[in-house]
Every structure is written in structure tokens, then in C-alpha cells.
Amino acid sequence: MEKIERGSLCVVGTGIQLMGQTTLESESAIRNASKLLYLVTEPVTEEWLKELNSSAEGLLSFYKEGKSRITTYKEMVDHILHYVRAGEQVCAAFYGHPGVFVYPSHEAIKHARAEGYSAVMLPGVSAEDCLFADMGIDPGSSGCQSFEATDFLVYSRKFDKHTTLILWQISCIGQLTHELEYSLSGLTVLSSKLSEVYGSEHDVFVYEAARFPVCPPVIHRTQIGLLPSAPVSGVSTLVIPPKPMPAPDLAMIKALNIPEAYIEKKAARSLVSSE
């Protein structure tokens, strides 16, 4: 009687810029899987995955017009687990970082582990990684906050105006289906909300990571009050530079024996390039 192998799951990311940002570790997992499932946005990347592994199967077909995203994601999870339960060494490859805005990857790993299967996630290059590099932002300098735009508004998220604020999926605020239609009303609400804290004339940046090696990233400078008329696409992210640093806690500086030169340097440092 033939022994059925124990299934496993490895979730990887292909990066933002075609296959050039796929790590060597992830590429090895893709090549060696007995079943490769993928969800990517570029035909070139899709063809490359098929060349790496002949078992490749896309997950894009689970999207249907009018179907809720959560239903689609649950069906993807069930499909991934079907092959794991069948004894396959499954690799699920997703666009960007597999753990950033990828609900099916987290759910598939959680359910696989709950059923006793080996399940791991390998890191990938995310849009945020590209953003830090393209805009010259160091999140370790004075902090950085990151929210999905609809979540940011619906739950009145608390944030510090003295650190960089990043808002994702600004083009489809309030949209819950696969189509993710452009929402001018959502941008208007967001502009009004941000104006209460920063003022309508505060500079912001609409950012899009480069998806092709020959194309530069999109970095459009505008003001909060002009956000509804800014050029925004389905992959646009909003970067709000911080207000000037507040006065430091002198008692804490003394308690920590921090030299004044450190405080002066930190206050003078710019977090976002104006280029």
C-alpha cells in the first residue's frame, strides 16, 4: 500500500516589481513545491511562476463581480488547504509581501497549523518597503504609523501627528467588494478628517511603487485640502509627513543621561524627501 506523504504549506511573496524582488529563499520554495498556487497581478510574473513549477495554478478565478472579498478569500483558503490535506507540499505565492494585506495567507497558515500540518511564511518585499526606500523615510528615526484608510476612518484610529502617517487603499475607501471602485466621496471624507488635525494646506504625497524595473515610482505632492482632486489610482498610498517634533521631556532626558547633541540632531532631521 502506497504511503501518502504528510502535506505542508509554505506561503511566499513575489515582491512588488515583477520577479526581480522575489528572494532566493522564496524562489527555492516555489521550485520545490509539489503544488504551486499563486495570486499575482502581472502576466509576466505569472508566466515566470509557470516556468519555475509546472504544477502552477492561479487563484484569480475565485474573484467574481459582486462577490464579497471575504467570501472570495475563504474559498481561496479552502482551495489551498485541499491540496495540503491531500499530502502535497504546497507553496502559495502572493504579490508583494505574503503577510501584508493578504488575508488568505494568514488564514491558510492558521487552519493548517490547527490541523497539525507544517505551515510557514517567508518574508517578501512589500509596497511599504519600496515606499521607505523611494521616499527616504526611516521609520526608526521618529516612528511611523500605518493604517488601511477605511479602517482608519471607521474606527477613528488614534495617531501621533508628530510621526509619519501612511494610509493604504485610499482610492477605494468604504468599498467591500472585489471591484474596489474609485471613491471620490471617501477621499473627501478623508481630506476633511485629516484637515482637522493637520490643516488643509499641510503637504502630503500620493505614492505608487514601481512595478517595472524601467519605470520610476509615482510620488505626487499635493495638499490635504486638494486630495479629492489628486491623481489617485487603485494602488495609491497616502503619505502624511509629520508636524514638527514636540518639545522633549527634559526630566526624562536627565534620567536617561541623554546628551543634548542627540536631541538637537533628532529635531533637525527630515523624515520625508521633498523631491
- For residue range 220-260, what is the model confidence (pLDDT) as tens digits? 999 999 999 999 998 999 999 999 887 888 888 889 988 87
Q: What is the pLDDT of residues 102-153, one digit of tens each?
A: 999 999 999 999 999 999 999 999 999 999 999 999 998 889 999 999 999 9
- 6 catalytically annotated: no
Asked if residues 244 and 182 have their Cβ atoms less than 8 Å apart, the reply is no
Lowest mean pLDDT among 2-11, 19-28, 156-165: 2-11
Q: What pLDDT score was predicted for residue 171?
A: 93
Q: 8-121 belongs to which CATH class?
A: alpha beta
Catalytic residue among 38, 83, 95, 207: 95
Answer yes or no: is pLDDT of 272 > 60: no
- 103 catalytically annotated: no
Domains 8-121 and 127-268 share a fold: no
For residue 148 the three cell numbers come to 488601511
Catalytic residue among 73, 117, 198, 207: 73
For residue 89 the three cell numbers come to 507540499
Q: How far apart are CA 129 and CA 171, in angstroms?
A: 20
Catalytic residue among 31, 38, 63, 69: 69
For residue 215 the three cell numbers come to 519605470
Q: What is the pLDDT of residues 182-201, one digit of tens each?
A: 778 999 999 999 999 999 99
For residue 43 the three cell numbers come to 502576466
pTM for the predicted model, two decimal places: 0.86
Answer yes or no: is pLDDT of 2 > 60: no
127-268 folds as: 3.30.950
Q: What pLDDT score was predicted for residue 90?
A: 98
Q: What pLDDT score was predicted for residue 264?
A: 66
pLDDT confidence tier of residue 62, bands split at 50, 70 and 90: very high
Where do the domains of the chain lie?
8-121, 127-268
- 182 catalytically annotated: no
The count of residues in the chain is 275
Return phi, psi of residue 95, to 5°: -60, 140
Q: What pLDDT score was predicted for residue 178?
A: 52
Q: What pLDDT score was predicted for residue 274?
A: 39
